[in-house]
Amino acid sequence: MTPVELSHTVLRAVRRAVDEGELSVAVPVRAVVTPPGPGGCGDYATNIALQLARPAGRTPLDVAQILRQHLAATDGIADVTLTGPGFLNISLGEDVVSAEVALVRDILRAGAAYGHSDVLAGEVVELRIPYDDVRAEVVADALGRIIASQGGRAAVEHREPVNLRPVPAPEDPAPLGPDAARWALLHPAAHDRPRITADHLVQRESNPLFRVRYAHARTRALSRNAADLGFTSEPGDTRDSEAIDARHLEPCGSPHTDADADADAVDAGRRAPSGIPRPDACSPRHSDITSLVTPLVTALADHPRILTTAATRRSPDRLTRQLVTVADAALALLPTVLPRGDEKPSAAHRARLALAEAAGTVLAGGLSLLGIDAPDHL
């Protein structure tokens, strides 16, 4: 069960409680599941009971007790424990690992087509845009590819009545270059005015486009570096305890293989862009791996839904934000992929490399749909 599937499972538990008269609330559209916080346990936790307590006229613990019985009876859930004021801590057992392995395999098998579907099969989506509007042209062009990824076909016309009119760019974005210009026009929501500034060109954390392309380049560099070290990726348990031993508890600055600091992604001897984890950052303890893996797995599992939503709601900005989410989650995990010092590659290293490659695949595929290049080297 992936985090997205678990979120849907939590919502179904709420629906059952409402249908059986145990709760009188509107079923929310989303249930947030995250790694357990301090004092928590299990694989995931949710605060849905705290969210529903006030509208239900019950205490959070009362709501949590009601939902617990419905969740505990669900296939794939091994245990549900209450902690704190009403947090539901959910244990999936081995199922969480098998779900992550299946997800990574699916992504690597599908390649750039991961998330594509036939939701819009046979449909022709009319996009009527105004004349001489560069942003409308770019948005329609990106939507053409996104809609095609869901089995539909976009028909772009310059005629009234217009049904696709994003807020125009305040100035010509061409001086930014094709990739940065497209990102500047696509990243804001249609009702927001785009910023046409040199900020889209800087190589630092504050630039979302750079983070996305940098994360993609890092995943490609890791594959090359792993090959130099004599191992390849293999989907599996990223939390394998054999990969987290005393050598990972060395202080930062301890000896580390230079491979992860691939000169194509980060020049040797130079620091990574400000705020982005350095390639030679200390690897986390075993207990920290879940907190790094889960956000990335959640984002990757949610990618098909985001693509469908972007196509059906004519909103390529949803895809840009999704790519930023994947990139940020990947950048946090990437420093844990390669062995440190004289450590030998383990099954967990191979599994994390496979997860990193899956993230790179999604980033490259998403950028391609937007019409933006995804270079292997930065």
- pLDDT value at 24 more than 50: yes
| pLDDT greater at residue 77 or residue 224 | 224
316-358 pLDDT per residue, tens: 999 999 999 999 999 999 999 999 888 899 999 999 999 999 9
185, 220, 227, 288 from 103: Cα distances, Å: 32, 19, 23, 21
Whole-prediction pTM value? 0.75
Per-residue pLDDT of 146-204, as tens digits, reads 999 999 999 999 999 999 999 999 999 999 999 999 999 999 999 999 999 999 999 99
pLDDT for 225 equals 96
Please list, residue by residue across 246-277, b when 16 or more beta carbons sit within 10 angstroms of its beta carbon and e when fewer do: eebeeeeeeebbebbbbeebbeeeeebbeebb
Judged against a pLDDT cut of 50, whether residue 269 lies above it is answered with: no
Is 97:131 a contact under the CB 8 Å cutoff? no
pLDDT in tens, 209-227: 999 999 999 999 999 999 9
Please say if the pLDDT value at position 265 is more than 60: no
Between strands 87-91 and 44-46, the pairing is antiparallel
- Whole-number pLDDT of residue 164: 97
**Which pLDDT score, from 0 to 100, does residue 96 have?**
72
CB contact at 8 A, 41 and 30: no
Round to whole Å and give the CA distance between 315 and 307: 10
Which single residue is written with the structure tokens 């967990």?
Answer: 348
Residue 81 exposed, middle or buried by CB count within 10 Å (0-12, 13-18, 19+): middle
